[in-house]
Amino acid sequence: MGEPPKIKKLEEAVINRIAAGEVIQRPVNAIKEMIENSIDAKSTNIQVTVKQGGLKYIQIQDNGSGIRREDFEIVCERFTTSKLREFEDLSTIATYGFRGEALASISHIAHLTIQSKTGNEKCAYRAAFVDGKLQESPKAVAGVQGTQIVVEDLFYNMNVRRAAMKNGAEEYQRIIDVVGKYAVHNSSIGFGLKKFNENNDIRTPPNSNAIDNIRTIYGNLIARELINFNVENDELKFKAHGYMTNVNYSTKKFTFLLFINNRLVDCTGLKKCIDQVYTTYLPKHMHPFVYLSLELDPRTIDVNVHPTKHEVHFLSEDQIIESLTSAIETKLLGSNNSRVFFVQTKLPGAVSDTKETGQIRTYDKDLVRTDAAEQKLDKFFVPSDLNRSENYETAFKRDNEHFLEKATDFENALNRSICLRSSLTKIQNECKLTSVLQLRHEIESQCHKTLRELFAQHVFVGCVNAKHSLVQHGTKLYLCDTTRIMEEVFYELVMYNFQNFGTINLSDPLPLKELARLALDLAETGWTEEDGNKDELAEKVQEILTEKGDMLKAYFSIDIDEFGYLKSLPLLLDNHLPEMGCLPMYILRLATEVDWEHEKKCFRQFARETGMYYAKMYESDAQSWKWVVEHVFYTAIKDFFLPPKTFTENAAVLQIADLPHLYKVFERC
Amino acid in the structure at residue 621: D
- Kindly indicate the confidence band of residue 526, based on its pLDDT and cuts at 50, 70 and 90: confident
**What confidence score (pLDDT) does residue 255 get?**
93
- For the segment 608-633, the average pLDDT, to the nearest whole number, is 84
The tally of CA atoms less than 13 A away on the side-chain side of residue 387 is 9
| List of residues 6+ apart from 383 with CB closer than 8 A | 622, 623, 624, 627
Domains in the chain, ordered, with CATH? 12-204 (3.30.565.10), 219-333 (3.30.230.10), 428-656 (no CATH)
pLDDT at 391 over 60: no
- Kindly indicate the confidence band of residue 375, based on its pLDDT and cuts at 50, 70 and 90: low
Nearest to 498 by CA among 421, 439, 568, 565: 439
CA angle 224, 187, 242 (to 5 degrees): 55
Q: In the chain, what's the furthest Cα-to-Cα distance?
A: 109
- What confidence tens digit (pLDDT) does each residue in 444-462 have? 888 888 888 889 888 898 8
- What 50-53 contacts at long range (C-beta under 8 Å, 24+ apart), as own/partner pairs, is 50/172, 50/175, 50/193, 50/194, 50/195, 50/196, 51/195, 51/196, 52/168, 53/27, 53/165, 53/167, 53/168, 53/169, 53/170, 53/171, 53/172, 53/175
Buried b (16+ CB within 10 A) or exposed e, 213-239: bbbbbbebbbbbbbbebebeeeebebe
Cα(84)–Cα(412) distance, integer angstroms = 72
Buried b (16+ CB within 10 A) or exposed e, 587-612: bbbbbeebebeeeeebbbbbbbbbbb
Task: Find the range with the poorest average confidence among 422-436, 513-527, 626-640.
Answer: 422-436
Cα(99)–Cα(306) distance, integer angstroms = 12
Buried b (16+ CB within 10 A) or exposed e, 403-432: bbeebeebeeebeebbbeeeebeeebeebb
CA angle 638, 643, 644 (to 5 degrees): 175
Cα(80)–Cα(78) distance, integer angstroms = 6
Cα(33)–Cα(97) distance, integer angstroms = 8
Amino acid in the structure at residue 515: L
- Kindly indicate the confidence band of residue 388, based on its pLDDT and cuts at 50, 70 and 90: very low
- Burial (Cβ within 10 Å: 0-12, 13-18, ≥19) of residue 85: exposed
- What confidence tens digit (pLDDT) does each residue in 531-556 have? 889 889 999 999 999 999 999 999 99
The pTM (predicted TM-score) of the whole model is 0.57
Amino acid in the structure at residue 176: I
Are 473 and 659 in contact by the 8 Å Cβ rule? The answer is: no
Beta bridge partners of 49: 59, 194
Cα(166)–Cα(52) distance, integer angstroms = 9
Greater model confidence, 74 or 372: 74
| DSSP strand pairing (139-141 vs 226-233) | unpaired
- What confidence tens digit (pLDDT) does each residue in 307-326 have? 555 667 778 888 999 999 98
**What confidence score (pLDDT) does residue 580 get?**
84
Cα(324)–Cα(230) distance, integer angstroms = 10
CA angle 456, 458, 459 (to 5 degrees): 140
- For the segment 241-263, the average pLDDT, to the nearest whole number, is 91
Q: How many helices (H) and strands (E) does the chain have?
A: 24, 24
pLDDT at 18 over 50: no
Nearest to 511 by CA among 658, 650, 644, 407: 407
- What confidence tens digit (pLDDT) does each residue in 49-65 have? 999 999 999 999 999 99
Beta bridge partners of 420: 505
Per DSSP, the residues of 109-131 read HSEEEEEEE-TT-SSEEEEEEET
Are 393 and 418 in contact by the 8 Å Cβ rule? The answer is: yes
Amino acid in the structure at residue 70: E
- What confidence tens digit (pLDDT) does each residue in 185-219 have? 999 999 999 988 787 889 899 989 999 999 989 98
**What confidence score (pLDDT) does residue 380 get?**
61
- What confidence tens digit (pLDDT) does each residue in 129-142 have? 988 888 889 999 98
Are 632 and 471 in contact by the 8 Å Cβ rule? The answer is: no
Q: Tell me if residue 475 falls in helix, strand or coil.
A: coil
Percentage above 90 pLDDT, the chain: 36
pLDDT at 587 over 50: yes
The DSSP element (H or E) to which 57 belongs, if any, is strand 57-62
Cα(646)–Cα(359) distance, integer angstroms = 44
pLDDT at 522 over 90: no
Greater model confidence, 402 or 465: 465
Task: Find the range with the poorest average confidence among 5-9, 148-152, 178-182, 646-650.
Answer: 5-9
